[in-house]
Every structure is written in structure tokens, then in C-alpha cells.
Structure 1
Amino acid sequence: MDPLEQLAHWGNEMNEFVSVHDQSFKHYVYSSDLKVSRTMDNILEVEKQQRIETEQQLEIINPNQIYVSNLCVGAGFFSQVFIGTHNNIEVACKRYEMKGDMFYNETANLKLLNLQQYVPRFYGILQLDVFYYIVMEMVHGITIEHYLNTNPNPFELFSILRKIIKALIHMHSIGVTHADISNSNILVYNVGNSSRIKFVDFGISCNSNPNIKVHYKGKNGYIAPELLDEGKTRKSLNEKTDVYSFSVLLKEILARNILLDNYNGVSIDWSTILSKCSSIDQINRPTFAEILNYFYVV
């Protein structure tokens, strides 16, 4: 076989090799796509079933038994809160335009935490026209952000911080991570008379259910550094992310020079608390049970 014939023979062999492997590659890609498609179908089916089960466990409020006013008392990126009346009780009606992940996250975790003193009481869900509502207790309070502008008593503020910490200890003990702690998502009421607190806005909260869908969209400045990596969000979202957000809130409070360095003769090392809670590595952050040890003096 002369050199030209040999070259042509090699060329034919190469074409056959490429053709066979190209078909194999196409078969592999098709099979992989099919597996991914089936996996996504399975995930969507599981999510659909979970949502059906969630709705079955919730109180569906009869539209004839509730009045929702047009008075909006709060608004966020994805929802608005309106005043309503249900069974002759004033209620807050949080309106979503669709029953998406945030709607289901909030309803599931409010139900899980229902009747706890640190969250609004949950009454049920409601559909009116094209909107979906979460109906809950109306809390007549002010946000921590506004409370700090009232020149609060340092002992009262210290007590409020203790209540926030204790609430989060309990919340985490049953597997719920709030995931959106900020100065606007904690309400203070009965100010000046045994002040109390309630956490609101559980739209991006999560619990120990590994199938719950989370899209993290916390308040800028309060987001833990590990959550900035979008690929790690679900895995990294836990009680330590709440600890970081708490450190930002504490830093804001300390910047106002309201808290004392000494309570009942006991010095408070605020810099150490802040440093530990705001650690870049979440492994090095304390739990809220450990943080509470710094607040035992009052």
C-alpha cells in the first residue's frame, strides 16, 4: 500500500471511530438528559405532594367568614399586609400574588411555631380572587428599628435582647431557622410595661425537612457570608446563619451607645460577643444557648 493509500485508509478508520463515538456520545447525552428530566419530574412531584399535604393540614378560611380591608399596614418585595376581621377578631392578612415557595415556607413554619409567644398566632390561609392570604394575629407593635429611635431604657433593651435569644433557642430546638433576622422583622410591643417581642416574616425560613425549597433573599447587610455562595445556600442555611444576622443587629444597637457596659455590677464584654457571633466561618460562631450565658445578669 503506497503512502497515499495508507493515508486514505487511516482517514476512513478515523471517520468510523468518530462516527461510532459520536453516536455513543449522543446516546450518553440523551440518557443523561432523560435521567435529569426524570429526576426533575420526581422532585416536582414530591414538591407538589408536599404542598398538597401542607394545605390539607392547614385551616382553610371560608371567605364568607372574614373581611379583608384595603388598609395596607406593611409591604415587602413579595407580599403586603392588610388589616382584616375574622370571627370578630382583628387580624393581619398577608397577601401573596401566588402560592410559591415563600408562601409555603411561611405557612409551614408558622404552623410549626403556632401558639408560641414569640410569633403571631396563625389562623389559616385564604384565597380571594387571584390573591392568597396568610391570616394571623395582628400585633400592635413597632419594629426594633423604630424602637431604637425611642431612646429606650438600657435595662429594658437588655431584657429584650434576652427574649430574642431565648426565642431563637426554642425556634432552633424544633428545627426552624428564621433566615431573615433584621431590625425590621422583630416587633416590640407593650413597650415600657414588660416589653415583649414577636418575630415576623417567615417567608424564607426553613426547617429540618431536607426537601423544603429555599431561595435566600435576606436583608442586605444581615446576610451571613456563606450564603453569598448561591450553590451552598441550602446546605449552609442553619442556626449559625441566624447567629450572624443577630451579630449585625447587635452591632447596630451598640453603635447607638444605649447598652451599658455594666449591669447589676457585672461587666458585659460586648466586643467578645460581637466578635464570636460575626465570625466568617460559621463553625466558630456560638449557639444562642452559649450566647445567653453572657446575658445572665438581668
Structure 2
Amino acid sequence: MIDRRLRVLAAIARHGTVTAAAEVCRLTPSAVSHQMQALARELDVALLEPVGRGVRLTPAARTLLEHGETLAAQWEQARADLAAHRAGAVGGTLRFAAFSSAAAVVVPKALEHLRGEHPQMRLYLRESEPARSFDLLAADDADLAVVVATPSIPPVSDPAFDQHSLFDEPLDILVGPDHPLVGRRGVALRDLAADPWICGNVGRAYHQLVTLACTTAGFAPDIAHHADEWDTGAALVARGYGVALVPRLADLPAHHDTRRLPITTPPVPTRRVVAAVRAGSQHQPAIAAGLDALRHVAGTALPALGR
């Protein structure tokens, strides 16, 4: 019921280029340009202006986007209010988007909980990077995203989304069986400042976590290898090609001989796990049930985090 071109304009605002906005909106760049030109003509205001290889929103476009965010949140709230007039059990489809560790550990437990509490619900999970999960929410291709709080995601103040903290997860050091730190009772992150590091590819959440943790500990990691899959990283660590940071809940492959060492000396790196929804949608019955299930799982997961 809201002009879909407002979603395209919001994607341009988030990503800074017509090409990137076209990709997340599943349109061609020419279609995005045509839609923005048509919208500008209808409103009789300029919406975009070129800046280098990208574009930026004009003041008029930002005003329009503010109204669009308000309309979107009110529509989501209207859907929640209308649900109160429907009798019966909670049903419908609930679509999750989650980063790799959450998709493997946290969300499946939430799905199991939902299946027991609301058997009529249809549940769907898509694994995706945190920034991409927000694109899926904005495009109404997901209802609930489980993400890691990194600089690549929208800030908590972004009016298009509501973000709910689930838990803080410590990160451990993963080393090979012959590493000099094996057997020590206490480990500091800076003890590994001279080691080669195995890290995710640039731009991904894991890369951001590792570089930020090491920088906070006072050193820049010497990244020797890039690996996005835990199996690849663990294989390299087991054979002495470097060390890695791993989340406490990460289920590492048992066929690689590695040692997980908790970091006991501050600063102890952690990552914040957050559930995000479109603004105004958290009171819709299916989404509210999903948030409750995630909070239930977070409560049962915290003892495993050593907290």
C-alpha cells in the first residue's frame, strides 16, 4: 500500500550507488534510474545528485525518506493491530535471516521452540551476512534478522528498524596443538600479536570483528590467510599456518586438531548478537513469537557462554 519506489530510494541511501541499490532490490540499474526520475517528476523535486561514482540524496529526498520510514512503520503497526481481529492460533509464515553461527546454533533452536509452541506456523531460514540481512528486511524478504553488531549494519538509531539485543558472546583463541600458549592458565589477546592470523575476507562481519578486537588490544593483526568457513580456518590453524578468533558458540569440526583457549586478560573480545525487525512490526503475532523464541534460546545459551 506504500509506493515501492520509496524502498528503492532507501536502498540508494544505504548503499550510495544506483548499481548497489539495484542489486539488493533485484532490479536493473536502468530500472532504478527510471523509477527515481519518474518519482522526482511526480513530486516536482530533485531527489538525487551525482557525487563521484555514486549519488547522494538531496535534502528533498531525505525529507521524503523520513516520511516514507514513518509510513512504513505505521503500516507494520497496522498489520499488528489488524491481527488482533483474527481469532485462532498464531500462524502464517515467519522468515528468518541469520549469520553463519546463528544459523547453525541459535536459530534452529528457536525454530524448534516455535514448532512446539505454534505448530501451524511455516518457518523459513536463510543464511546471510548481517548487512545483507538488513537489505532482506527492508525489501520484505525476511521478517526477523539475527545479526552481529558491526560497523556495517545500520545504527540502533535508524528509524527503519527496531533492534533487540540478545546476548554478548565471548571470542576465544584457536591455536594448533603445538602452539606455545597451549597449557597456559591465562591468555591475553596481545600474547598473539606476533603470530600470523587467519581471518575472514574483507568486508565480511568476521573480518571486522577480528581487526577491531586486535586493534583494541593494541596491535594490527598480520593476516596470513583469509577463510570464511570454520572448516577451512580450523584446517589452517591445526597445521600451524596461523591463529584465529572463534566465537564461543561456534561448532568447530572435530576432525582438525586444534585447541580453543579462553582469553582471560582484558580486553576480552566479545560480539553482540542482535535481533532486528522492520520498525513497527515487532507486535505482529508471528514476529513477536519469533522474538520470544530467540530470547528463550538466548537465555538457555548464556550458561554455555561461561557467563
TM-score by length of 1: 0.28
Between structures 1 and 2, the one with greater helix share? 1
Larger Rg, first or second structure (1 or 2) = 1
Q: Which has the higher contact order (CA 8 A, sep 6+)?
A: 2
